[in-house]
């Protein structure tokens, strides 16, 4: 009886010493299958540095934890292949069989460096099935980091050990996800060197700066050169079919009108009754009526009426000056100095000197979504009068028109 | 004239903003400054603190003691110094390509030189650590029949080739990929010129088309 106790005690002490030796000795070194068997008797998990994903002690602990609670012993070998097996086929399976002969029933997962893994189960019912474990592993690989994520042998072994510890149960996704998030789960891909990455940063920055500079200079020079849109003869290179009312036309008209009114009010009282003075008053009156209607053509009208009023004020002192008549094509071109037979009509219309050389585009307003209508085709007092180009009494016609409409 | 000046100023500002943005984006793609060392690197660095050749226990006996002694001697006297690690190559040891673990070893050892990996059955691999020198590659495709004597001869040849190579102490900061500083500037200028020329031309053509449309022609 005492001898047995002594023997058991001696065995325990021996095992503890071996374990302590294994821990102190640093990484596990096994060169033969026999040495491997001796190791596995003390500790069923064997991981060598070349298979340990940077830390074989950590790998050992991960696998021990994964296999904990198993009913059958779970043996895991991640190691270099013992030399004696170098010529054999499927060394993982060979070794698993040899280990089982010595160590008895259990789950054996063996992967040698550069070889494929083998998992064998002895002495257990059929419910040991690692298909789910491998499906989970493949899924984790598909969602892994980098371009071609490949699970490490350690990741695979951990999943298998976990499945072996709880046979017949579903492998919790959280466990696989947890493993997958560890630095040892995937084979590191070749990293770009720091020097290359820094140089790439310079290339990207330089290329962007130079690219933007060149693109900007091309666009700027192109736009600046294109600005005149005229040939050497001074003729518009490409005449557009319409000219639009400039923005803030009403403001321009208002300023013009204000200055005309100031000059008009500065006239001596006797001259207000003279013909030009009366005309100026009516033009100012008419301009005020159309100034704030919000209509583009009306704003132009107010502007032209202000110019007419201004000229009439001049004519009080210098009656020899002609009344103001704008360019029929576009009153904003200024005063007419020429006449031209406008296409499709029988009358000679007064136009500015530019339009006299070559007829420009009519002042136009938007009509519909993409269409433009020349002002002469609109149903307005401006169309009938040509903004005073065709008549001498624009102010009277405007006053009459607006009087009727109200 | 005014448009020209405005255009050029806008261009300059955009180039500055674009450059800063590119720098920022490219910075996020920089690899993390790896200072992790793997177990294998620590083991090798320990072994190399006393000798110029480290032989992993798993491949002990691969080379004879006499062969190891010759390699050690040659590696020690070579300038720049050579450090040789003999072990089976592994992708399961926590580092990427073998150059990564060789750099880790060099960093741990803190001795500038050429770090060489010898793996029975695999090609020799080397990396300069802490030196910026003339190009040197130890790569040689593995022989059909691996033998320690052939490997020793090859290694000694390569060490002799390395000996007397011009180098300066300090990490090589030039990029092999882009071809050094000149290559980097050249690549940036070339890509920028082509890209900018293309984008500028397209934008200008677009502007002309827009202008015509707006003019209603
Ligand atoms: Zn005109």
| Whether A218 and B203 lie within 8 Å, measured CB to CB | yes
Burial A364-389 (b: 16+ CB within 10 A, else e): bbeeeeeebebbbeeebbbbebbbbb
Q: Are residues A159 and A290 in the same domain?
A: no
Residue with tokens 């793996």: B119
Reported as a pLDDT band with limits 50, 70 and 90, residue A14 is very low
What percent of chain A stands above pLDDT 90? 48
pLDDT of residue A9: 40
What percent of chain B stands above pLDDT 90? 52
Q: Are residues A170 and A270 in the same domain?
A: no
pLDDT of residue A227: 53
Mean pLDDT of chain A, nearest integer: 84
Asked whether residue B202 is assigned to any structural domain, the reply reads yes
* Bridge partner residues of A120 (DSSP): A108
State the average pLDDT over residues A14-30. 50
Q: Are residues B91 and B50 in the same domain?
A: yes
Tell which residue, B128, B130, B126, has the closest CA to residue B110: B130
State the average pLDDT over residues B29-43. 79
Q: Is the predicted pLDDT of residue A336 greater than 80, yes or no?
A: yes
Domain span holding position B16: 2-30+179-216
Asked whether residue A119 is assigned to any structural domain, the reply reads yes
Asked whether residue B174 is assigned to any structural domain, the reply reads no
Q: Distance between CA atoms of B107 and B110, rounded to whole angstroms? A: 5
State the average pLDDT over residues A52-61. 94
State the average pLDDT over residues A182-203. 83
Closest chain B residue to the Cα of A204, Cα to Cα: B22
Q: Are residues B126 and B210 in the same domain?
A: no
Helices A153-165 and A56-67 meet at what angle, rounded to 10? 20
Q: Running DSSP on this structure, what letter comes out for residue B54?
A: E
CATH code of the domain covering residue B141: 3.10.310
Asked whether residue A268 is assigned to any structural domain, the reply reads yes
Count A/B contacts: CB-CB distance under 8 Å. 242
**Residues 122 to 181 of A: which have CB under 8 A from any B CB?**
152-154
Domain end call among A128, A145, A180? A180
**Residues 30 to 89 of B: which have CB under 8 A from any A CB?**
30-31, 33-34, 36, 38-40, 43, 56-58, 87-88
Q: Distance between CA atoms of A186 and A151, rounded to whole angstroms? A: 4
pLDDT of residue A63: 96
Q: Are residues B102 and B199 in the same domain?
A: no
State the average pLDDT over residues B60-77. 92
Helices A249-265 and A275-291 meet at what angle, rounded to 10? 150
Kindly report the backbone phi and psi dihedral angles of residue B88, in degrees, each rounded to the nearest multiple of 5, phi listed first: -70, 135
Give the model confidence (pLDDT) of A263-289 as tens digits.
Answer: 998 888 777 777 888 899 999 999 999
Q: Which of A55, A206, A222 sits opposite B189 (nearest CB)?
A: A206
Q: Which of A54, A193, A242 sits opposite B95 (nearest CB)?
A: A54
Q: Are residues A264 and A143 in the same domain?
A: no
* Predicted TM-score (pTM) of this structure: 0.59
pLDDT of residue B33: 59
Within 8 A of B34 by CB-CB distance, chain A residues are 191
Domain span holding position A56: 33-180
Residue with tokens 């070749």: A190
Q: Is the predicted pLDDT of residue B85 greater than 50, yes or no?
A: yes
pLDDT of residue A229: 46
Reported as a pLDDT band with limits 50, 70 and 90, residue A3 is very low
Q: Are residues B162 and B210 in the same domain?
A: no
Give the model confidence (pLDDT) of A150-187 as tens digits.
Answer: 999 999 999 999 999 988 788 889 999 999 999 999 99
Q: Are residues B163 and B85 in the same domain?
A: yes
| Whether B172 and A80 lie within 8 Å, measured CB to CB | no
Does an H or E element contain B107, and which? helix B98-109
Helices A153-165 and A173-180 meet at what angle, rounded to 10? 160
What percent of chain A stands above pLDDT 70? 85
Give the model confidence (pLDDT) of A71-92 as tens digits.
Answer: 889 999 999 988 888 777 889 9
Q: Are residues B20 and B115 in the same domain?
A: no
Q: Are residues A283 and A393 in the same domain?
A: yes
Q: How many Cβ atoms from other residues are within 10 Å of residue A406's Cβ?
A: 6
What percent of chain B stands above pLDDT 70? 94
Give the model confidence (pLDDT) of A200-253 as tens digits.
Answer: 889 999 999 999 999 999 998 888 877 554 433 344 444 467 788 888 889 999
Reported as a pLDDT band with limits 50, 70 and 90, residue A388 is very high
Q: Which of B16, B92, B211 sits opposite A51 (nearest CB)?
A: B92
Integer Rg of chain B from CA: 26
Q: Are residues B18 and B87 in the same domain?
A: no
3-state secondary structure of B168: strand
* Bridge partner residues of A121 (DSSP): A107
pLDDT of residue B169: 85
Domain end call among A132, A150, A180? A180
Q: Which of B94, B178, B215 sits opposite A199 (nearest CB)?
A: B178
Number of domains in chain A: 2
Q: Is the predicted pLDDT of residue A56 greater than 90, yes or no?
A: yes
Q: Are residues B53 and B159 in the same domain?
A: yes
Within 8 A of B18 by CB-CB distance, chain A residues are 208-209, 211-212
Best A49, A57, A81, A145 residue to mutate vs chain B (most B CBs within 10 Å): A49
Kindly report the backbone phi and psi dihedral angles of residue B97, in degrees, each rounded to the nearest multiple of 5, phi listed first: -70, 165
* Long-range pairs for A264-268: beta carbons < 8 A, 24 or more residues apart: A264/A309, A264/A313, A267/A313, A267/A316
Q: Are residues B52 and B141 in the same domain?
A: yes
Q: Is the predicted pLDDT of residue A21 greater than 70, yes or no?
A: no
Kindly report the backbone phi and psi dihedral angles of residue A312, in degrees, each rounded to the nearest multiple of 5, phi listed first: -65, -35
Q: Distance between CA atoms of A125 and B61, rounded to whole angstroms? A: 44
Reported as a pLDDT band with limits 50, 70 and 90, residue B137 is confident
pLDDT of residue B208: 85
Q: Order of strands, edge to edge, in the sheet holding B125-129? A: B53-55, B82-86, B113-118, B125-129
Within 8 A of B87 by CB-CB distance, chain A residues are 50
| Whether A202 and B185 lie within 8 Å, measured CB to CB | yes
Domain end call among A161, A180, A199? A180
ipTM of the complex: 0.75
Asked if residues A50 and A44 have their Cβ atoms less than 8 Å apart, the reply is no
**Residues 183 to 222 of A: which have CB under 8 A from any B CB?**
183-184, 187-222
Q: Are residues A263 and A387 in the same domain?
A: yes
**Residues 267 to 326 of A: which have CB under 8 A from any B CB?**
none
Give the model confidence (pLDDT) of A106-147 as tens digits.
Answer: 999 999 998 999 999 998 776 678 888 999 999 999 998 878
pLDDT of residue A27: 64
Bridge pairing between strands A338-341 and A243-244: unpaired
Asked whether residue A201 is assigned to any structural domain, the reply reads no
What's the angle, vertex CA A38, arms to CA A37 and CA A39, rounded to 5? 90
State the average pLDDT over residues A378-398. 91
Reported as a pLDDT band with limits 50, 70 and 90, residue A6 is very low
pLDDT of residue A127: 66
pLDDT of residue A30: 79
Residue with tokens 């990929």: B177
Give the model confidence (pLDDT) of B173-200 as tens digits.
Answer: 667 778 778 888 899 999 999 999 999 9
Q: Is B160 on the interface with A (CB under 8 A)?
A: no
pLDDT of residue A232: 36
pLDDT of residue A191: 65
Number of domains in chain B: 2
Q: Distance between CA atoms of B215 and A244, rounded to whole angstroms? A: 9
In this structure, what token pair is assigned to residue A35?
A: 């040495």
Q: Is the predicted pLDDT of residue B15 greater than 70, yes or no?
A: yes
Say which residue, A29 or A137, is predicted with more confidence.
A137
pLDDT of residue A403: 78
Q: Is A78 on the interface with B (CB under 8 A)?
A: yes
């Amino acid at each position: 009886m005492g001898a047995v106790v002594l023997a058991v005690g001696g065995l325990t002490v021996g095992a503890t010493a071996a374990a302590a030796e294994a821990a102190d000795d640093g990484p596990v070194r096994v060169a033969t299958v026999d040495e491997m068997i001796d190791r596995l008797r003390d500790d069923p998990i064997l991981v060598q540095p070349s298979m340990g994903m940077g830390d074989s002690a950590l790998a050992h602990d991960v696998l021990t934890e994964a296999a904990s609670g198993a009913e059958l012993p779970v043996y895991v070998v991640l190691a270099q292949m013992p030399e004696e097996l170098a010529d054999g086929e499927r060394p993982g399976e060979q070794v698993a069989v040899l280990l089982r002969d010595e160590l008895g029933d259990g789950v054996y997962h063996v992967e040698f460096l550069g070889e494929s893994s083998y998992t064998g189960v002895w002495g257990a019912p059929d419910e040991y099935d690692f298909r789910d474990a491998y499906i989970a592993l493949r899924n984790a690989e598909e969602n892994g980091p980098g371009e071609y994520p490949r699970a490490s042998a350690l990741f695979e072994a951990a999943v298998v050990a976990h499945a072996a510890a709880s046979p017949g149960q579903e492998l919790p996704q959280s466990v696989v996800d947890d493993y997958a998030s560890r630095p040892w789960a995937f084979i590191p891909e070749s990293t770009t060197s720091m020097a290359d990455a820094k140089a790439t940063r310079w290339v990207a920055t330089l290329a962007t700066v130079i690219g933007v500079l060149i693109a900007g200079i091309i666009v700027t020079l192109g736009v600046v050169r294109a600005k005149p849109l005229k040939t050497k003869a001074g003729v518009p290179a490409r005449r557009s079919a319409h000219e639009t009312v400039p923005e803030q036309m009403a403001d321009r008209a208002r300023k013009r009108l204000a200055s005309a009114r100031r000059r008009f009010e500065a006239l001596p009282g006797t001259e207000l009754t003279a013909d030009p003075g009366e005309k100026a008053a009516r033009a100012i009156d008419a301009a005020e009526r159309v100034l704030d209607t919000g209509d583009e053509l009306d704003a132009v009208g107010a502007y032209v009426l202000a110019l007419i009023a201004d000229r009439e004020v001049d004519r009080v002192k210098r009656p020899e000056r002609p009344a103001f008549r704008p360019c029929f094509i576009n009153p904003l071109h200024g005063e007419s100095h020429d006449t031209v037979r406008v296409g499709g009509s029988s009358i000679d219309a007064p136009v500015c000197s530019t339009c006299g050389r070559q007829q420009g585009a009519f002042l136009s307003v938007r009509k519909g979504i993409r269409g433009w209508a020349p002002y002469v085709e609109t149903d307005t007092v401006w169309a009938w009068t040509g903004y005073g180009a065709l008549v001498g009494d624009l102010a009277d016609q405007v006053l009459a028109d607006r009087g009727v409409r109200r | 004239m005014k448009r020209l000046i405005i255009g050029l100023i806008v261009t300059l500002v955009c180039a500055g903003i674009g450059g800063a943005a590119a720098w920022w984006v490219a910075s996020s793609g920089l690899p993390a400054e790896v200072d992790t060392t793997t177990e294998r690197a620590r083991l090798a660095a320990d072994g190399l603190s006393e000798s110029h050749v480290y032989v992993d226990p798993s491949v002990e006996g691969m080379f004879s003691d006499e062969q190891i002694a010759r390699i050690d001697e040659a590696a020690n006297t070579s300038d720049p110094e050579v450090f040789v690690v003999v072990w089976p190559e592994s992708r399961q040891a926590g580092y990427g390509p073998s150059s990564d673990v060789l750099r880790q070893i060099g960093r741990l050892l803190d001795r500038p030189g050429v770090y060489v990996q010898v793996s029975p059955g695999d090609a020799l691999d080397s990396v300069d650590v802490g030196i910026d020198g003339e190009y040197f590659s130890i790569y040689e495709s593995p022989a059909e029949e691996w033998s320690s004597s052939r490997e020793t001869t090859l290694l000694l040849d390569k060490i002799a080739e390395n000996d007397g190579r011009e180098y300066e102490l300090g990490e090589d900061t030039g990029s092999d990929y882009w071809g050094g500083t000149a290559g980097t500037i050249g690549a940036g200028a070339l890509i920028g010129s082509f890209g900018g020329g293309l984008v500028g031309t397209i934008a200008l053509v677009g502007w002309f088309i827009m202008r015509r449309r707006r003019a209603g022609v």
